[in-house]
Structures are given as structure tokens and as C-alpha cells.
Chains A and B, each alone.
Chain A
């Protein structure tokens, strides 16, 4: 069947579709609030019908009928396989090595995919305070791979984060091994301008694709570190079917998506 691309979609929807496409069927996914949940639920309706969604607050493989507004939302209880708590999920699922892909939000992302969600400025005299790690540091350390979601602005993509809340490739190919991390590392950064991936040799971020209406040059101008754009192509737009599922099945209440349209 020929793919019918959507002509009318919001940026948030494009990003949710990009997130969903990162999930493979039967994978076990750690999803956070907002875009990761939209992406994971969409994936269950499209390319990864048998993926398993795990919430750090306790619910494992629920069948969501209403979009949660928190990973501890009672909506994550619906038809779950088990519902325990943080200690069980983090230790026996995540640390034991069962999470294939974890999603992470970020206030800052650097060229090695390290994330800051703690503070701007010196930690001891923070200029701006963010919520802190939550489960982000844990997911970054112990998922088999991670997908980062971020707003693409120069100040949010510095050479080095003010504070590393969640380690990416740290300082290059040997970074995680030297830190003592057993596995993992970021595989993609889905941004408001495009998708970054990491070079296999250097583990530095490069531009893999730029969103419709954006040029590679614009992405480079909005990045605080030197960004290789030589491998970039256009991001595949969302299909009619993907947008329909997002609006009609994933978030019909418009909890996250209508906000993006406004």
C-alpha cells in the first residue's frame, strides 16, 4: 500500500511519530510523561503492536485507554500485568537489563548526548533550577539504548552541559566503559528541528535528518557545538494513518496535542 503523507500536522505530532518509529516490535520501553508516552502509545497502534510499556512509578504493560499526565497516574494501572513500585521496577526490570529503550527529556543536551535536567550555572549557586533527575539518570545509565527529546535552541545544545544529570556517551567511545556502566547509551535525539544520531567511531552527535520546512544550515546555527550535517536528509513526514491514530486513539482528549496546536 502506498504511504499517504499527512499535509496537516503540528510539530508535536511530527515528533511523536518520530519517537514511535524508534521503537521496534516486542521491545520493552520505559516511557515518561508527554511526547514519550504519545510515541509509545502510537507505536503500539502502528509499527510495534507488541511493545511493552513500563512506568517507573510501578505499572508494567498496562493497556492505556486514557493518556496519563504522570508516570504515577492511576490511568497507568489499567489492565497492567503487575503494579508494584519504584524499587521493584528500577531494580528487577531496569538494572537487571530488561529495558530495551528508554525515553528521556532534557533541558540541555551536549555533543555526546549527556543530559542536564538539574540546573543552569554552578550546582551550588544555581541560576535556574530544573526538577532534577527523577528516573532520568537511572534510565540513562541502565537502558540498553535511549532516545532523547529536546527543544532545539543553541543554549540548550552546548558543547558541555552545566551539570550531567544523565550520562550519554560521556566523553567519547570509552566514556561509559570507564565510568563503569555495563551497557547502553543514547541512539537518537529527536528535536524540534530534526533528528541527531551518534557517530559509531567518535560517539559525537551528527544531524541525521531535518524536519520539513527546516534546512540543515538552520539546525547547525541553532546548535552550540559543531554539528556535522553532511549525512542529513529530510525527516520522513507523518502518514495520514499515524496522525489519525494520534488524534483519535492516543490523545482524543487533547491533553498534550491540542496544546501544541494552540
Chain B
């Protein structure tokens, strides 16, 4: 695997999405309003993936669309919303209230530690968080479900006395998703990844995964990223597929490249509120377009993308109309 070259890893979105099998355990990078692999999510919906088991800390519309489109069977999460744009993901909310998916709740810190344990190759990780919370009282998954699938942790958590200090400590089970998909600013032709701005949980999610797909704004020659290796966060041999998708996180932000799209986020949340208009959203923006380029035209083309373009110094669009 370590010798794979450019032509082996760089592929189209359609090819990369085929790596995700129905029923796969997946995680997606980004955090609420930034750097979700949205182009990949759209293609997963177009390919009608089913029965996915998703792990996340604070996803946003990436999960909301997948859940609404019927791709997801089970989630382990801390939060699902677009913060100031939506206090809860509307499709996630309805799916839980109608019992269309199975769910289990942890905290953000809890979930990111579970990815970290998976990335480090250890079976669990000790923490002090969530003590006194119902997250450590209610298990969203039945004992039968936990027994039925080896990939699901056999227990949600264990609380024990620390063997060294006798403090109360929580042990959380590791996560190693079948596939993690992240959206990065730059990847080199071998697969080395550079992320600008906050990393969120991307590094842990990526390194915990059995397979890693990276969509990106730009592909460059390795010597360019290797000049400053301390700025890179994932070594090339961990990356299985690279897809170049400029504006691939829209309507979410990608630091130093573009801002989030308030107008489109409002449109999404308006349409996702009820079943009929959400279906119209899917038909118009996902099923009704062939690829990401056509989608970008549909959301306003060059004119819209120029409005979202990040200021070089600030990394976002300071003049963007946000309300």
C-alpha cells in the first residue's frame, strides 16, 4: 500500500463513493458549519447507499441530508445541528422522533476520545467527562444489538475506580470506522494531507479508519508539502483515495478558501422542515444534477462563489451578508 502512486489513488467522486459499502460503519470530517465532505455526501445519496452506521461528534447538514435521504440506519453522536443556522438538524430530529433510525448519545469530548483510541490502536480510553450525566445511564442500543455486530462496542462504557488513584474514571470503547471521509484544503499526489485552520476531530477520525478517503480543494506535488512537513497531519500511506472537488464543502466553510453560505443554509433549513419540501430539495439539488459542477452552477455559479471566497489574510469572507 505504501508505494501507491498518483494514478492509483486519485479518482473520481463516483469511483471513491463505491468504496463505501451498504451497511458500512463510517465517519465524516468537519464540525457543524465547516469542512464537511458535502460533494461526497451528495454522491452517496445519488448512489442510494443504505444502512450506514455513522459515528460523529458534531456533524451538521452532512448527516442531516444522509439521514433524510434514507441512507443511515444507526448513529453514535454528540450533536446534530448547524448552530446559529439551525438549533437541531430537522431530518435528524424527525428520524429520531419517528423511530426511523437507532441512536446513542455521547458528548463531543467522549466521541473524539473514542476516535483517538481507535487511531492509537488501544481498545478503550479513560476520561473524567460525562460523570453524573444520563449519557452514562441510558444506552441507546439494546444488549442484543451490541451482541449482533462485532463492529459495535460490546458495552457503551465502563465506570471504575482508577487502579492508581482510586478516583472514579470512565472507560470509553474505541472506534475504528470502515471508512472515514474528510474534506481537506490540500493533498499531495501521494496522499499527504494538509489541513488549514482548526483540525476539529479530522486527524483522529482519519487515523482511526480502516480506509480513508480525502476530498480536497487542491492536489499539489509532494515536494511542495514535504517542504514543511510539520504543517501536514496525515502521512500519505494512510490515504486510500483522493478526489479533487473544489468548493466540495459547500454550503459549509473551508478556512482560507471560502466561507459558509448563509443564504443556502437558510434555504436548506426551510426546505428540510417538512417531508414534501425536503424531497423537492433532494430532487432539485442532488438527484436532479449529474455532478458537483452542475450543483455549483445551480447554487449561483461564479457569482455566488466569488461572494463566498475567503479573504487572503482573514481566511473567511468579511463582507459576506450573513443575515
Whether A87 contacts B116 by the Cβ 8 Å rule is yes
> 1/0 per position for A22-51, CB-CB distance to B under 8 A?
000000000001100000000000000000
In the complex, number of A-B residue pairs with CB atoms less than 8 Å apart: 221
- A-facing mask of B185-214, CB < 8 A → 1, else 0? 000000000000111111110000000000
User: When chains A and B are docked, how far (Å) is the Cα of A258 from the Cα of B190?
Assistant: 49
Query: B34 contacts A134, CB within 8 Å?
Result: no
Say whether A182 faces chain B, with CB atoms less than 8 Å apart.
yes
> Which residues in B have their C-beta under 8 angstroms from that of A127?
97
Interface residue SS majority, chain B: loop
- Residues of chain A within 8 A of B203, CB atoms compared: 85
Bound-state Cα–Cα, A135 to B256, Å: 25
CA distance A127 to B87 in the complex (A): 16
Residue among A57, A78, A86 with the most chain B CB within 10 A? A86
Measured in the bound complex, the distance between the Cα atoms of B108 and A57 in whole Å is: 10
- Segment with Cβ contacts to A, from B4-12, B15-23, B289-297, B315-323: B315-323
Q: Is the Cβ of B198 less than 8 Å from the Cβ of A57?
A: yes
Q: How many residues of chain B get a CB closer than 8 Å to chain A's CBs?
A: 69
Interface contact A255-B198, CB-CB below 8 Å: no
Give bound CA distance, A132 to B96, whole Å. 12
Per the bound structure, the CA–CA distance linking A86 and B159 in Å amounts to: 23
Q: Are the CB atoms of A70 and B198 closer together than 8 Å?
A: no
Residues in chain B near residue A225, CB distance under 8 A: none
Known: A57-B31, A118-B105, A134-B79. A255 touches B314 (CB 8 A): no
Q: How distant is A260 from chain B, measured CB to nearest CB, in Å?
A: 12
CA distance A255 to B85 in the complex (A): 11
Indicate whether B167 reaches chain A with its CB closer than 8 angstroms: yes
The answer to whether A72 and B31 touch (CB under 8 A), given A58-B198, A134-B78, A256-B84, is: yes
| Size of interface on A: residues with Cβ below 8 Å to B | 66
Within 8 A of A (CB), among B257-285: 259-260, 262
B106: chain A residues within 8 A (beta carbon): 133
Interface-located stretch among B133-141, B221-229, B299-307: B133-141
Check: A84 CB closer than 8 A to any chain B CB.
yes
B residues less than 8 Å from A154 (CB atoms)? none
A129 touching B97 in the complex, CB below 8 Å, given contacts A72-B33, A124-B140, A182-B167: yes
* 14 pairs, A vs B, C-beta closer than 8 Å: A57-B31, A65-B314, A70-B33, A72-B34, A72-B200, A78-B315, A85-B203, A90-B129, A95-B129, A124-B138, A134-B107, A164-B132, A176-B132, A255-B84
**Residues of B that sit less than 8 Å from A by CB:** 30-34, 57-58, 77-85, 87-89, 92-93, 96-97, 99, 105-110, 112-113, 116, 127-135, 138, 140, 159, 167-169, 197-204, 253, 255-256, 259-260, 262, 310, 314-316, 318, 322-323
